[in-house]
């Protein structure tokens, strides 16, 4: 998940757009090689959903989007504030895994998300993608 907004100073880090695209590609390839699925989620914290959408489009395609409402955004409240390891800094790249049980056709069962890593700050994201931490 990539969490940010158009007003975030950290999103101006040189190379951030390319780093987010590279991270999505690497993580998708890794998931595929391990027989897993991958979903790229963009969370835009601009107050207005249309502003958040325009901003996130700068970072390429996402499989899912959560837009608008600033820090009251459902993605932010659930995944940043609702997680005891979460921090409300942006931009943020969060990678987690969870199990999904599809054995009952009437009800999907989702396991608790397990955070694999969390990068906060534009420069940190760019550095960690370049050095291969994100793979």
Model confidence, pTM: 0.90
Strand pairing category for 100-101 and 109-110: antiparallel
Domain ranges of the chain: 2-130
Q: Which residues contact 6 (CB under 8 A, 6 or more apart)?
A: 44, 46, 51, 52, 54, 55
Kindly state the average pLDDT of the residues 12-29.
Answer: 96
For all residues of the chain together, what is the average pLDDT? 92
Taking residues 3-26, report their average pLDDT.
94
pLDDT given at position 95? 92
CA angle 54, 60, 64 (to 5 degrees): 80
- Give the model confidence (pLDDT) of 82-124 as tens digits: 776 667 789 999 998 999 999 998 999 999 888 898 999 999 9
Percent of the chain predicted with pLDDT > 70: 97
pLDDT of residue 84: 65
C-alpha to C-alpha distance for 125 and 127, rounded to whole angstroms: 6
- Look at residue 27 in the predicted model and tell me its pLDDT: 96
Its CATH class, for the domain covering 2-130, is alpha beta
* Res. 10: pLDDT tops 90: no
């Amino acid at each position: 998940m990539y969490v940010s907004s158009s007003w975030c100073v950290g999103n101006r880090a040189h190379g951030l757009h390319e780093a987010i695209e590279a991270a999505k590609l690497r993580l998708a390839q890794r998931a595929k090689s391990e027989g897993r699925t991958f979903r790229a989620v963009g969370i835009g914290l601009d107050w207005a959903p249309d502003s958040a959408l325009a901003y996130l489009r700068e970072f390429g395609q996402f499989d899912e989007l959560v837009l608008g409402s600033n820090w009251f955004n459902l993605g932010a409240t659930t995944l940043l504030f609702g997680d005891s390891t979460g921090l409300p800094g942006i931009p943020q790249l969060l990678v987690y895994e969870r199990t999904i049980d599809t054995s009952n056709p009437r009800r999907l069962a989702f396991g608790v998300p397990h955070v694999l890593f969390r990068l906060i700050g534009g420069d940190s994201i760019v550095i960690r993608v370049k050095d291969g931490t994100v793979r």
